[in-house]
Amino acid sequence: MYKNKKVLLIAGGGTLGTYTAEELLRLGAEVEVICPEEKVSNHPKLKFHQSLATNELLTELFSKTHYDGIVNFIHYPDPEKYKEAYRFLIKNTDHLIFLSSYRVYANEQHPVTESAPRLCDVVKDPDLLKYDTYGVSKGICEDFLFNECKGENWTVVRPVISFSCRRMDILMNSGLWAVEYAKSGKTMLLPLSCKELHAGLDWAGNSGKLISNLLFKKDALGEAFTIYSGHGMTWGEVADAYNKVIGLKVEWVDDERYIDTIPTIRSNGEHNWMWNYDRKFDRDVDCSKVLTVTGLSRDDFTTIEDGIKAEMKILEQSQK
């Protein structure tokens, strides 16, 4: 489908970039990845550039190659830095994808659609608006595209939490906490207040597939899409899936007892914003827009439980 297409993934060596590259290769594209990690290609159409995405490197690459698509995975805490990068990148590609996040959404609409109010639209908390460098800053970057770059070939993607063997997320517990708790036989404390909330969570392989299949779609240009396959679960169901796959034991407790396990939630920083302006929200997501434009259906994706199984196999193989 993507034969003769060349795609550049900027800062694409992580979880989402890895699965995006896999899907692009499956679709027939040639893929180049800029990342600081040392990576070895196992595919004739995949090339890595071990580096930060400096202007010098990008200028060199653009002088040699025209990239039909660019997916920029860099997070810009300062939206002004994104504006500078955007103007440089958009001149050198036919389709530029900006990585936003589902965390831009407020808790105003259920299920969440792409037109749902965002934090930067409705929240009045002055500390959040001043200090949050994730959900709010991504919303400001989006506004730059929506308001100042109309008619140009960009697409905003808003992935939900995308788990892999690098990060097995359960609410605020990220990294490999779930695996470590299960191996040690310890019980993980989780907040009862969130047990029945829909989790904004999906397997990273699903997210990479959706991002890849939005490239080169005319109906994707100038639009925003929540990156979500529709295999939704509540946080209680997610915990049950981890119990079934790896034997994780969970106890549901009140918020204060849970926060005691992650004291940084009480600080005026990223964990505070993540807890109060995301994880405590109900993230029931309507994924009909992204499925329509990509031409995919819910059956084309992997369930959360099977995603956990797949990532555990990868983790086990890497530790041999």
Describe the crossing of helices 235-246 and 177-184 by its angle, rounded to 10 degrees: 50
| Domains in the chain with CATH codes | 6-318 (3.40.50.720)
**Residue 90 exposure: Cα atoms within 13 Å on the Cβ side:** 18
pLDDT score for 308: 97
Cα distances from 266 to residues 18, 44, 102, 256, 271, in angstroms, run: 34, 49, 23, 10, 8
pTM for the predicted model, two decimal places? 0.97
pLDDT score for 71: 98
Reply yes or no on whether the pLDDT at 248 is more than 80.
yes
Residue 99 to residue 229: CA distance in whole angstroms: 17
pLDDT score for 1: 85
pLDDT score for 140: 97
pLDDT score for 180: 96
Reply yes or no on whether the pLDDT at 320 is more than 80.
no
Mean pLDDT within 58-78: 97
Residue 185 to residue 179: CA distance in whole angstroms: 10
Mean pLDDT within 123-142: 95
Q: What percent of the chain has pLDDT over 90?
A: 97
Tokens of residue 125, six digits: 């908390």
Type of residue found at 61: L
Whole-number average pLDDT of the chain:
96
pLDDT digits (tens, 9 = 90+) for 167-195: 999 999 999 999 999 999 999 999 999 99
Cβ-proximal residues to 45 (8 Å cutoff; 6+ apart), any chain: 25, 29, 30, 31
pLDDT score for 277: 97
Q: What percent of the chain has pLDDT over 70?
A: 100
Reply yes or no on whether the pLDDT at 319 is more than 90.
no
pLDDT score for 62: 98
pLDDT digits (tens, 9 = 90+) for 144-165: 999 999 999 999 999 999 999 9
Confidence at 318, pLDDT banded by 50, 70, 90: confident
